[in-house]
Amino acid sequence: MNHVVVVGAGPSGAAIAFLLARQGIQVSLIERETQFNRVFRGEGLMPSGVEALYEMGLGQCLEAIPSRTLDAWDFYIDQQRRMRVVEPQGRLGKFSTQIICQSALLKNIVEQTKTLPHFKFYPGWQVRELIRSDVSVCGVKATNGHQTQDFMGDLVIVAEGRYSRSRKLADLSLHQSQTQFDVLWFKLPAPAEVLCETAFTVCLQRQRQYAFYPSWDERLQIGWIVEKGQGKTSAERDWAEEFAQAAPPFLAEHFREHCDELEGPIFLDVIVGVCPQWSIPGLLLIGDAAHPMAPNRAQGINMGLRDAIAAANHLVPVLQNSGTLDRITAALQAIQSERLPEIAAIQHLQLEEWQKIAAFTASPFTYRAFKTVANLLGRFGLTQQAWLYQQRKLRHGAVSVRLEH
Ligand SMILES: Cc1cc2nc3c(=O)[nH]c(=O)nc-3n(C[C@H](O)[C@H](O)[C@H](O)COP(=O)(O)OP(=O)(O)OC[C@H]3O[C@@H](n4cnc5c(N)ncnc54)[C@H](O)[C@@H]3O)c2cc1C
């Protein structure tokens, strides 16, 4: 059997390591952090991501972690609710949108994988270099403090996230799209009214755009949108007052009263793009390393999990039979061909959503027109259903992804 080195234990890396190791393939999973609970990990898991976890046999890992099932999507414009869309509760109530503790999920997946023979986990090891033979990548060099170790493999799967260093070392370019926004992330104790249900709430004013939801830790998680490049300069603003200005009245008071307990901002640089080529002989990129996703409508974890399923479908039969370099290379190209259409479709939809908000808030006139239309139509069930329908690919994926092995 072949040996696979997976770099990065985020959703994409943890999932592919599990799927390959479960089929008896030797896997080394290398993660630079020693703990999973780093400062920021996305928390929204759309129905397609939930379904992907069950498809992989990791449903129990999801059920065992702190999470909240979404009840509704609320849209406030100028402090008034203009539309509420009830979250469909899915088949058997299982596959609706979830707010999850991602670090707990990753820990559970890796713990479950550790019970499999031929799997080794290396936390605290950071990949620094690729090791190459004449014809292919054949391993990585990683460091842990003063120690250095070579991890040799027939295939290196790079799941290092959006800043992937191995992507650059492999000379695989990233075509970035023009994202015009970054995100500032905050936490605050949540009031009881917010905790009695789980609504993802969008608050819009012409100059203020943010979203919040009660998180798995019972606190309010707030994401504030800033123009690209403006985030790092805005730390000194009176954030509680900024939230209060665009918040529903019951919450505005809460923001002001609890301003001392506000944690943040954490600045999150939004990068969106796709690599025209995801592999070279001996190396494959998956997840954000191949196609960094925008944060809107929580797509990154889903796409990473779905990449892992597609990658396992193509790689398991080849690797179980000690595939030659040529066969492995063909499988890597097939993975990219299968995944690219969905990634392109989802990134397009994410960008479109963002462009709509930018257009609505472009001038006082467009903003007023948008508000009037939302006010008139938002209350009707048909409009709410139309919104859900228009979101279907973002909720359920743009193509069908099923695990074959
Ligand atoms: C503001 C913001 C909010 C977001 N919110 C959500 C959300 O709610 N839901 C959602 O689905 N997506 C969200 N996303 C996107 C999501 O975070 C990513 O798309 C997703 O985490 C990608 O998963 P991944 O496994 O490919 O990479 P990552 O989750 O980035 O994991 C990469 C892993 O590799 C490790 N690593 C990196 N370099 C090395 C190295 N050299 N050696 C060893 N290990 C290494 C890292 O420590 C990390 O654990 C958000 C993104 C942003 C910017």
Q: Is 12 in the pocket of ligand 1 (CB under 6 A)?
A: yes
CA distances 162 to 86, 192, 289, 405, Å, are 32, 36, 5, 28
State whether the beta carbon of 272 lies less than 6 angstroms from ligand 1: no
Residue 84 and residue 169 in one domain: no
Amino acid at 364: P
Q: Does residue 105 lie within any of the structural domains? A: yes
Q: pLDDT category, 231, cuts 50, 70, 90?
A: confident
Based on the domain organization, do 343 and 333 belong to the same domain?
yes
Q: Does the Cβ of 293 fall within 6 Å of ligand 1? A: yes
pLDDT band at 250 (very low <50, low <70, confident <90, very high): confident
Placement of tokens 């099932």 in the chain: 69
- pLDDT for residue 316 is more than 90: yes
- 74 to 67, 197, 227, 358: CA distances (angstroms): 19, 12, 23, 19
Per-residue model confidence (pLDDT) at position 235? 66
pLDDT value, residue 91: 64
pLDDT at 94 exceeding the cut of 80: no
Q: Are residues 200 and 252 in the same domain?
A: yes
Residues 157 and 185 in one domain: no
What is the sign, positive or negative, of the torsion defined by CA atoms of 288, 291, 295, 300? negative
State which of 38, 101, 129, 160 you would mutate to test the pocket of ligand 1, scoring each by most atoms of that ligand within 8 A of its C-beta.
160
Pair 56, 128 in one domain: yes
The two tokens of residue 145 are 């403090």
Q: Which of 29, 32, 275 to probe ligand 1 with, by most ligand atoms within 8 A of CB?
A: 32
Share of residues in the chain with pLDDT > 90 (%)? 90
Sign of the torsion formed by the C-alpha atoms of 65, 251, 38 and 311: positive
pLDDT score recorded for residue 234: 67
Q: Is residue 379 part of a domain?
A: no
Q: Is the pLDDT of residue 84 over 90?
A: yes
Q: How far is CA 134 from the centre of its chain?
A: 36
Residue whose tokens read 């070392």:
169
Lowest mean pLDDT among 225-234, 337-346, 371-380: 225-234
Q: Are 321 and 167 in contact (CB under 8 A)?
A: no
**Residue 149: inside a domain:** yes
Q: Is residue 367 part of a domain?
A: no
One domain for residues 230 and 82? yes
Least confident of 64-68, 221-225, 226-230, 393-397: 226-230
Number of H helices, E strands in the chain: 13, 21
**Total of domains in the chain:** 2
Residue whose CA is at the smallest distance from ligand 1 atom 29 = 10
In a domain, 404, yes or no: no
Please indicate, yes or no, whether residues 185 and 172 belong to a single structural domain of this protein. no
Mean pLDDT of all residues in 53-80: 96
67 close to ligand 1 (CB < 6 Angstrom): no
| Average model confidence (pLDDT) across the chain | 95
- Whichever domain contains 313, its CATH number is 3.50.50.60
Cβ(188)–Cβ(253) under 8 Å?
A: no
- What residue's CA is closest to ligand 1, atom 31? 10
Between residues 2 and 62, the one the model is more confident about: 62
What b/e string do you get for 165-189 counting C-beta neighbours within 10 Å, with b at 16 or more?
bbbebbebebeeeebebbbbbbbbe
Q: Whose alpha carbon is nearest atom 16 of ligand 1?
A: 300
Structure tokens at 155: 């295939």
- Among the candidates 224, 248, 269, a domain finishes at 269
In a domain, 235, yes or no: yes
Q: What is the pLDDT of residue 93?
A: 58
Question: What is the number of the ligand 1 atom nearest to the C-alpha of 162?
Answer: 30
Q: Residues 75, 126: one domain? A: no
Q: Establish if 34 belongs to a structural domain.
A: yes
Q: Is the CB of 9 under 6 A from ligand 1?
A: yes
Q: Looking at residue 93, which CATH number applies to its domain?
A: 3.30.9.10
Residue nearest to atom 51 of ligand 1 (CA): 295
CA distance 19 to 241: 47
DSSP state of 207: S
Question: What is the per-residue pLDDT for 95?
Answer: 86
pLDDT band at 107 (very low <50, low <70, confident <90, very high): very high
Query: Looking at residues 126-132, what average pLDDT do you find?
Result: 98
Domain final residue pick, 238, 269, 300: 269
Mutate which of 301, 305, 307, 395 for ligand 1? The one with the most ligand atoms within 8 Å of its CB, which is: 301
Q: Is residue 359 part of a domain?
A: no
Distance 366 CA to ligand 1 centre (A): 35
- pLDDT tens track for 131-172: 999 999 999 999 999 999 999 999 999 999 999 999 999 999
Q: Which domain holds residue 326?
A: 3-66+101-177+273-354
Q: Is the CB of 160 under 6 A from ligand 1?
A: yes
Among 45-54, 222-231, 277-286, 309-318, the range scoring the smallest mean pLDDT is 222-231
Assign 121 a pLDDT band (cuts: 50, 70, 90).
very high
In angstroms, how far is CA 301 from the centroid of its own chain? 3
Structure confidence at residue 5 (pLDDT): 98
Ligand 1 atom with least separation from CA of 43:
8
Q: Is the CB of 30 under 6 A from ligand 1?
A: yes
Residues 83 and 141 in one domain: no
pLDDT in the model for residue 237: 85
For the segment 51-80, the average pLDDT, to the nearest whole number, is 96
- φ and ψ at residue 219, rounded to 5 degrees: -105, 165
Beta bridge mates, 155: 4
Q: Which two tokens stand for residue 3?
A: 């040996």
Residues 126 and 262 occupy one common structural domain: no
What's the gap in Å between 389 CA and the centre of ligand 1?
Answer: 28
Domain C-terminal end among 209, 234, 269: 269
Torsion of CA 204, 206, 208, 210, to 10 degrees: 30
Residue 48: pLDDT band by 50, 70, 90 thresholds? Answer: very high
CA distances from 1 to 21, 25, 161, 186 (A): 11, 6, 28, 47
pLDDT at 269 over 80: yes
Q: Is the pLDDT of residue 256 over 80?
A: yes
Convert the pLDDT of each residue in 323-335 to its tens digit: 899 999 999 999 9
Strand order in the sheet with 263-268: 80-86, 72-77, 199-204, 209-214, 219-227, 181-189, 263-268
Residue located via tokens 């100059």:
207
Res 291 pLDDT > 70: yes
82 and 230 part of one domain: yes
**CA end-to-end distance (rounded Å), the chain:** 16
The C-alpha atoms of residue 116 and residue 22 are separated, in whole angstroms, by 7
Q: pLDDT (tens digit, 9 = 90+) per residue, 159-207?
A: 999 999 999 999 999 999 987 899 999 999 999 999 999 999 999 999 9
pLDDT score, position 143: 98
13 shares its domain with 113: yes
Instruction: Say if ligand 1 is within 6 A of residue 182 CB.
Output: no
